[in-house]
Structure 1
Amino acid sequence: MKWPPSFFRTRMVLRHPLLSNLICSSAFANQATPLTPSIGSPARIHKLIAAQSDPLLAKEIFEVASSLRPDLPIRSTSHHSLILKLARAGHFSAALSLLRRLPSPSPALLSSLFLAFSRLRRPDLALSAFRRLLASPSSPPRPKLFRRLLSALAAHSSSLPAALSLLKSCSSFGVPHSVRAHNVLIHAFARAGNVAVAYSLFNRIFTLGLAPDVTTYRILMQALCRKSQVGTASDLFEDMLNKGYVPDSLAYNTLLNSLCRKKRLHEAYKMLCRMKVRGCNPDIIHYNTVIVGLCREGKPLDACKVIEDMPDNGCLPNLVSYTTVIHGLCSRGLYEQAHGYLEVMVGKGLIPHFSAFHALVKGFCSVGKTEEACKVLETMLLKGVAPHVETWDLIVAGICDDDREKLGDYVRKMINEEAWRKSTRITQVGCGLEEYMIRRSRYRTRPRR
């Protein structure tokens, strides 16, 4: 006797205890009509398929359910869940085989499939699924689904030519030209370093009678800045303003950062001052970008002016603002002003990184201002910031050269006061003292020539 294929599938799936129980219970419930096999309702089948971690077992459950009851209307969500399970597990042929059975795949399913294929580095399968949709007698693809396909293709440089060809021929399959679809590929080509193609797509938007949006300008400006074409990016920015667009925060920050890196600090500061007039209030990121640029080029006093102007524009300096200025002032030998900003920080409850304290200690010790260095160290310890061993070496060297008795008082204070003791590794300080005293004794006992 020749058994049908459904018999073998049933025997295979019956090994799964949950499904065998489901079939038994369904058969018991339908004992009045024993000739009509059943494995449960569509809801129970969907629940069973969704609960399986093994996609191949879920597929067998689906096949058995379909073969036992061809008249049972299995939910479309069961199809979708199974197709996605197979695709995400890398069973591409099985997933596409099930996809072909659907008369009209939903946009949500295709969108998820495009993403899954792209993540598994198979954008060609996403394109195949889209062509399957075009071949089916359904309505034209939605613009959102088309953009998702472009994103899936654009994530891989090898698929960029196919994505570009699709974009140029989108009207032939019922998808209207849109700025957002162009933005997807402008961003992809810009990220790949092909600014020429990105610029040509930007110009194509005008040719189609459309108008680029703020995102289009920002993407192209970022690409130009990465290529160090800051002048061209600035011209594009001015063109954007002349056409009535209001640049977003990210567009400003892109150009500010590039101007600072190109040492065009006057232009960066000028742009920062005009932001509010042009409809975009500068935030802490914009201010810190300019502050870092000024300090990096040895102009900390100009950075101080920026900090002083910030409260009037509704933005308060943060930890990065003050720390950057402190380092910038110390690099120019302006230790008193740097100390003043440190006290302002601490007064506002902002605790800087130990490197800011260390820069001040090092600076004061280098000019013989040991008292000021000790005050900085006191503040550091009282705020719970543990000094580096090198910081202690600087203090010890400065005090020993000045007054040994003062050094003894200082070390005793460090050992006795609880707040200092918690923040300091006494063993490290002891080793530093011992090494320093040995060096000094060797220096003093060295015979003079």
Structure 2
Amino acid sequence: MIRRPIYNSFAVSRHLTSPLSRFLFSSSSKDSPHEPMESNQNPKSPFGSPTRVQKLIASQSDPLLAKEIFDYASQHSNFRHTQSSHLVLILKLGRSRHLGLIDDVLAKHRSSGYPVTGELFTYLIKVYAEAKLPEKAFAMFYKMLEFNFTPQPKHLNRILEVLVSHRGYLSKAFEVFKSARLHGVMPNTTTYNILMQAFCLNDDLSVAYKLFGEMLERDVVPDVESYRILIQGFCRKGQANGAMELLEDMLNKGFVPDRLSYTTLLNSLCRKTQLREAYKLLCRMKLKGCNPDIVHYKTMILGFCRQGRAMDARKVLDYMSCNSCSPDSVSYRTLIVGLCGQGMFEEGKKYLHEMISNGFSPHFSVSNCLVKGFCSFGKVEEACDVVELVMKNGETLHSETWEMIIPMVCKEDDSEKIKMFIEDAMKVEISGDTRLVDVGIGLGSYLSSKLQMKRKNARDRKRL
């Protein structure tokens, strides 16, 4: 199939001599007697019915050849393409990314006097979006007006989505938004949400908030997403109190906030150390129709632990279990590390037992934190219990943990326990770990000096 442009009628007629073309361009006298004459058939046209030309254009796999056929037929004064021929060709050119040729087809469509449909512009906006051509999408709004077509809100929203997704096009999106009402296009809730989200992400919270106020003034009803966008915007700026006011307004108007709104607010309150307000919010969630999930509880546990309030974090973990929400490994790890940070190692050890009994594998940082804590207070037995518990569960210990525990066990002078820990340490698959080797060297020196001391004592007793 020829893909280069056709500049003479002979070349085109050569393209139109395929069996399908001969059938479509045959004269009406050869039509079946049972086939009614098509209403748009022009007997003076050498091509026959425009519908037949439309079928030929639609059947071409090469969009450039389809355009050549379209252009050649357009040159004849007695021929007029159908409206569907324009649409079919535009779709072909759009799919094949021959975007430069679409404007020419649109101009011919306009001069033909056919009315345009919203479907055509919906597809064109999609084509420009996929081709990452925001300038074309921007121009499409005004192109629709040139065609005396009033854009629908869905066209406006899609154009805005394309523009705000590209850096530097927010001002153009706002320009289209302001022009829309002047041209009879009424922005809806989705329109405002798109712009509010874009301005919030652009760190223009004040503009987003003004848009929210304008929405209420123009009787455009906000939805849950409208509030969530602004709540996230306030939290991103560290204005948790402003976000709380929005949440209260939302609840007073009968909206049920989504989980993401609560997560954002809880996280913001915790970071602002407003833990009392955060805990109240967590307790109110269920009453307001939104059951807290694992993310909300983990946010509170982390918030309390960061502020050195591990006992309050423990209450949250116990509270979530009573509300049919099972803690996960991250919840336990955060709590245990928090308890160790406050010197409550026995409490941490208790939750380690609970963690393992619930089927979770503790991260090595958990056992390391507990062993380090117990060893720092000389509680070797408790440290050994942690090691044994973790090892029985099939977990490996970090080399730093062995580095701490082995010297402590050696000082206890319990040969059986020393033997057991050396055997366990040798099972750990750590290759080339310098600290563990240093521990082994230190242990060897310790045992050697211990043996020499025993021999010296034995010689002294014999002399006496």
When normalised by structure 1's length, the TM-score is 0.79
Candidates 135, 140, 146, aligned match of 1:135: 146
Aligned to 2:344: 334
Per-residue CA distance 1:97-136 (angstroms, 9 max, x = gap):
3444455665455445435545655322112122212221
**Alignment of 1:79 onto 2:90:** yes
Candidates 415, 424, 437, aligned match of 2:429: 424
Candidates 213, 216, 223, aligned match of 1:206: 216
The amino acid across from 1:401 in the alignment is K
In the comparison of the two structures, how many residue pairs are matched? 414
The amino acid across from 1:424 in the alignment is E
The amino acid across from 1:437 in the alignment is L
CA distance in structure 2 between the aligned counterparts of 1:171 and 1:161, rounded to whole angstroms = 17
| Deviation at residue 333 of structure 1 after TM alignment | 1.2
CA distance in structure 1 between the aligned counterparts of 2:362 and 2:59, rounded to whole angstroms = 55
CA distance in structure 1 between the aligned counterparts of 2:319 and 2:412, rounded to whole angstroms = 41
* SS at structure 2 position matched to 1:276: helix
| Deviation at residue 210 of structure 1 after TM alignment | 2.9
CA distance in structure 2 between the aligned counterparts of 1:23 and 1:363, rounded to whole angstroms = 90
| Residues 96, 129 of structure 1: 8 Å contact kept | no
| Deviation at residue 62 of structure 1 after TM alignment | 1.9
**Alignment of 1:436 onto 2:442:** yes
Aligned to 2:236: 226
The amino acid across from 2:429 in the alignment is T
Aligned to 2:36: none
Aligned to 1:345: 355
The amino acid across from 1:391 in the alignment is T
| Deviation at residue 186 of structure 1 after TM alignment | 0.9
CA distance in structure 1 between the aligned counterparts of 2:21 and 2:156, rounded to whole angstroms = 46
* SS at structure 1 position matched to 2:325: coil
- For 1:352-391, what aligned pairs fall within 5 Å after superposition? 352-391=362-401
Per-residue CA distance 1:17-40 (angstroms, 9 max, x = gap):
xxxxx975647989999x979xx9
| Deviation at residue 61 of structure 1 after TM alignment | 2.6
| Residues 114, 126 of structure 1: 8 Å contact kept | yes
| Deviation at residue 181 of structure 1 after TM alignment | 1.0
| Deviation at residue 267 of structure 1 after TM alignment | 0.4
| Residues 308, 338 of structure 2: 8 Å contact kept | yes
| Deviation at residue 44 of structure 1 after TM alignment | 8.2
Distance 1:372 1:64, change over 3 A: same
Candidates 171, 175, 186, aligned match of 2:185: 175
The amino acid across from 2:267 in the alignment is N
The amino acid across from 2:95 in the alignment is L
* SS at structure 1 position matched to 2:286: coil
Per-residue CA distance 1:173-194 (angstroms, 9 max, x = gap):
3322322211111111111011
Aligned to 2:40: none
Gapped regions of structure 2 (runs ≥ 5): 1-5, 28-45, 75-80, 453-464
The amino acid across from 1:123 in the alignment is P
The amino acid across from 1:386 in the alignment is T
CA distance in structure 1 between the aligned counterparts of 2:57 and 2:364, rounded to whole angstroms = 62
* SS at structure 2 position matched to 1:158: coil
The amino acid across from 1:436 in the alignment is G
- For 1:151-190, what aligned pairs fall within 5 Å after superposition? 151-190=161-200
| Residues 21, 56 of structure 2: 8 Å contact kept | no
Aligned to 1:301: 311
The amino acid across from 1:409 in the alignment is M
Gapped regions of structure 1 (runs ≥ 5): 15-21, 50-57, 416-420
**Alignment of 1:409 onto 2:420:** yes
Per-residue CA distance 1:223-274 (angstroms, 9 max, x = gap):
1111111222222222222233222211111111100000000000011111
The amino acid across from 2:420 in the alignment is D
Per-residue CA distance 1:417-446 (angstroms, 9 max, x = gap):
xxxx4x63376496254343377599999x
Per-residue CA distance 1:281-337 (angstroms, 9 max, x = gap):
111111111111111111110011011111332322122211110111111111111
CA distance in structure 2 between the aligned counterparts of 1:7 and 1:259, rounded to whole angstroms = 78
CA distance in structure 2 between the aligned counterparts of 1:426 and 1:4, rounded to whole angstroms = 75
Deviates more, 1:97-106 or 1:359-368: 97-106
Distance 1:403 1:76, change over 3 A: farther
CA distance in structure 2 between the aligned counterparts of 1:282 and 1:301, rounded to whole angstroms = 20
Distance 1:64 1:114, change over 3 A: closer
Distance 1:351 1:23, change over 3 A: farther
CA distance in structure 2 between the aligned counterparts of 1:399 and 1:270, rounded to whole angstroms = 47
Distance 1:27 1:156, change over 3 A: closer
Distance 1:77 1:291, change over 3 A: farther
* SS at structure 1 position matched to 2:169: helix
Aligned to 2:100: 93
Distance 1:426 1:384, change over 3 A: farther
Candidates 380, 402, 406, aligned match of 1:392: 402
When normalised by structure 2's length, the TM-score is 0.77
Give the greater-gyration-radius structure (CA).
2
The amino acid across from 1:60 in the alignment is L
Distance 1:300 1:288, change over 3 A: same
**Alignment of 1:114 onto 2:125:** yes
CA distance in structure 1 between the aligned counterparts of 2:119 and 2:391, rounded to whole angstroms = 59
| Residues 99, 105 of structure 1: 8 Å contact kept | no
CA distance in structure 2 between the aligned counterparts of 1:379 and 1:23, rounded to whole angstroms = 85
* SS at structure 1 position matched to 2:96: helix
